[in-house]
Amino acid sequence: MAESRTRVLVVEDELKVADALREGLEGEGYEALVERSGESAFFRLTTEHFDLILLDLGLPGRDGLQILRTLREHGIRTPVLVLTARDALQDRVTGLDAGADDYLVKPFAFVELLARIRALLRRGRSAESPRLTLGDLEIDRIARKVMRGGRPVDLTVREFELLEFLMRYEGQVVTREALARDVWKETSRTTPLDNVIDVHIARLRRKIDLDQSVKLIHTIRGVGFMLREGEP
Ligand code: CA
pLDDT digits (tens, 9 = 90+) for 135-152: 999 999 888 899 999 999
- Return the bridge partners of 134, or none: 137
Identify the pLDDT of residue 173: 80
CATH top class, domain 131-227: mainly alpha
1 pLDDT band, cuts 50/70/90, is very low
Q: Phi/psi at 221 (nearest 5 deg)?
A: -55, 130
C-alpha dihedral, 110 to 113 to 118 to 121, nearest 10°:
-140
Q: What is the pLDDT of residue 16?
A: 94
CA separation for the pair 141, 164 (Å, rounded): 8
Q: Ligand 1 centre from 56 Cα, in Å?
A: 6
Give the model's confidence band at 191: pLDDT under 50 very low, under 70 low, under 90 confident, else very high.
low
Neighbouring C-beta atoms of residue 30, cutoff 10 Å:
20
Instruction: Measure 8 CA to ligand 1 centroid, in angstroms.
Output: 17
CA distances from 95 to 31, 52, 160, 215 (A): 26, 16, 25, 27
Ligand 1 centroid, distance to 138 Cα (angstroms) = 41
As a whole number of angstroms, the distance between CA 199 and CA 146 comes to 20
- Quote the ligand 1 centre to 78 CA distance (angstroms): 21
212-222: average pLDDT: 93
Give the rounded percent of residues in the chain with a pLDDT score beyond 70: 89
Buried b (16+ CB within 10 A) or exposed e, 72-107: beeebebbbbbbbeeeeeebbbbbbbbbbbbbbeee
Each residue's pLDDT tens digit, 68-125: 888 888 777 789 999 887 665 566 667 777 788 888 888 888 999 999 999 888 876 6
Rounded to the nearest angstrom, the distance between the alpha carbon of 12 and the centre of ligand 1 is 5
Rounded distance from Cα 119 to ligand 1 centre (Å): 24
pLDDT at 127: 56
What is the distance in A from the centroid of ligand 1 to the CA of 65?
12
Residue 59 pLDDT > 80, yes or no? Answer: yes
Compute, in angstroms, the gap from residue 84 CA to the centroid of ligand 1.
8
**pLDDT reading at 130 higher than 90:** no
The whole-angstrom separation of Cα 232 and Cα 223 is 13
Q: Where are the domains of the chain?
A: 7-126, 131-227
What local confidence, expressed as pLDDT, does residue 90 receive?
Answer: 65
37 to 86, 90, 171, 179: CA distances (angstroms): 19, 24, 30, 30
Percent of the chain with pLDDT over 90: 44
Residue 196: pLDDT band with limits 50, 70, 90:
very high
Q: What residues form DSSP beta bridges with 131?
A: 140
- Tell me the range of 63-67, 142-146, 195-199 where mean pLDDT is highest: 195-199
The domain 7-126 belongs to what CATH superfamily?
Response regulator (3.40.50.2300)
Confidence of residue 45 (pLDDT cuts 50, 70, 90): confident
Confidence of residue 128 (pLDDT cuts 50, 70, 90): low
pLDDT, position 3: 44
Q: How far is the CA of 207 from the centre of ligand 1 (A)?
A: 45
36 alpha-carbon distance from chain centroid: 23
Ligand 1 centroid, distance to 63 Cα (angstroms): 9
d(CA 94, CA 203): 27
What is the CA(215)–ligand 1 centre distance, in A?
Answer: 39
**Rounded distance between C-alpha atoms, residue 64 and residue 11, angstroms:** 9
| 7-28 confidence digits (pLDDT tens) | 899 999 999 999 999 999 999 9
Sign (positive or negative) of CA dihedral 218, 118, 100, 204? negative
